[in-house]
Amino acid sequence: MKPYVIGIDLGGTNTVFGIVDARGVVIASSSIKTAKHANFDDYVDELYTELTRLIEANDAKDKIHGIGIGAPNANYYTGKIEDAVNLPWETPIDLAGKISDKFGLPVNVTNDANAAAIGEMTYGVARGLKDFIMITLGTGVGSGIVINGQLVYGHDGFAGELGHVTMKRNNGRLCGCGRTGCLEAYCSATGVARTAREFLEIRKEPSLLRNLPIDEITSKDVYDAAVSGDALAKEVFDYTGEILGQAFADMTVFSSPQAFILFGGLAKSGELLMRPLRASMDRNMMSIFKGKPKILLSELKEADAAILGASALGWEVKPLATTVSQA
């Protein structure tokens, strides 16, 4: 067997990719901007150019066994991205087919959060756990559900979209999926920024965030202000943690996980998020489950969990029936 696979994490903001060996070591990695190209084929061309450069720089040409990709709403069964609300292209997209044609290599795909769950289960804090829920807090809120050591895909490949459970039934925020009140609309990085903007418009007290153009405020700005002691910014995290804790208490009733594992930029907020999250989760937890699920932070580097998880799919690919010429 060839010694390497490629793992690609296609996110709403950035696409990170790496060369991975059989021991799970990321030999080299790089990234491109996902939304740079309005046309998906142009995106594939840039990905091909940059990944080929990485492969050649690491003497990996003709040593790649296959490619695994984690992407929003990527269907493990069909190889397609379907109805991905955080991507700039019209869907469905034959992700596996187009990447395979371009690189001349077999490709497997899955949901990006599922890929992170596989990576965490194989190399990270979920090693030895057979029942856990991976929650990715990034541009959106993704999830990967593992029960009895197996990822849950459902009959159509789309099971586990916990970012789109409804948290606000009445007058909820419009979510990118087209529904209202979704967890993602409140507890993603973009949701945190939306909460900050709402607080600033409704409230009158001073805040460091008032020094910024309101439409340009990011979750990082809110975090920086909270760390500096800004009361309003801290309340944004309290609000976010409260909702996330409610969601975790509800999710626990479904699958009784040993742990919730948090991954992504917002998970790095530390006690600003974790304190209200733990309190809310405990307060809303059904008594039989109280104190049982742990909340753990990913042990893998920011990009590596998804790269490693996606790369694991690369080892499972079936050889192409015929050699595809590289474009």
Give the whole-angstrom CA distance, residue 255 versus residue 239: 25
Model-level pTM greater than 0.95?
no
Tokens 């990695």, residue located: 29
Yes or no: say if 300 and 25 are a contact pair by the CB < 8 Å rule.
no
Q: Structural domain boundaries of the chain?
A: 4-116+304-315, 128-297
pLDDT of residue 323: 41
- Coil, strand or helix: which one is 274? helix
Taking the alpha carbons of 131, 304, 107, 32 in that order, is the dihedral positive or negative? positive
Range with top average pLDDT, 84-93, 117-126, 190-199, 315-324: 190-199
DSSP state of 285: S
Of the candidates 177, 155, 181, 148, which has an alpha carbon nearest to the alpha carbon of residue 247? Answer: 181
Across the chain, what does the average pLDDT equal?
A: 92
Question: What number is the average pLDDT over the span 176-199?
Answer: 96
DSSP state of 106: -
Domains 4-116+304-315 and 128-297 agree in fold = yes
Q: What is the pLDDT of residues 43-74, one digit of tens each?
A: 999 999 999 999 999 999 999 999 999 998 89
Yes or no: say if 81 and 93 are a contact pair by the CB < 8 Å rule.
yes
Residue 320's pLDDT band (cuts 50, 70, 90): confident
Query: Taking 90 as the threshold, does the pLDDT of residue 196 lie above it?
Result: yes
Opening angle at CA 30, ends 108 and 92, nearest 5: 40
Q: How far apart are the first and last CA of the chain?
A: 25
pLDDT of residue 322: 47
* Side chain identity, residue 221: D
Fold of 4-116+304-315: Nucleotidyltransferase; domain 5 (3.30.420)
Query: Taking 50 as the threshold, does the pLDDT of residue 327 lie above it?
Result: no
Tokens 């948090």, residue located: 262
Can you list the positions of beta strands (E) in the chain?
Answer: 4-10, 14-21, 26-33, 64-71, 107-111, 132-137, 141-147, 150-151, 259-263, 294-297
pLDDT of residue 326: 44
Give the whole-angstrom CA distance, residue 65 versus residue 218: 40
pLDDT, greater one: 120 or 278: 278
Give the whole-angstrom CA distance, residue 128 versus residue 134: 14
Q: Which of the listed CATH numbers 3.40.50.12280, 3.40.50.720, 3.30.420.40, 3.20.10.10 matches domain 128-297?
A: 3.30.420.40
Kindly report the backbone phi and psi dihedral angles of residue 274, in degrees, each rounded to the nearest multiple of 5, phi listed first: -65, -40
Helical spans, DSSP H, in 152-227: 184-187, 189-202, 219-227
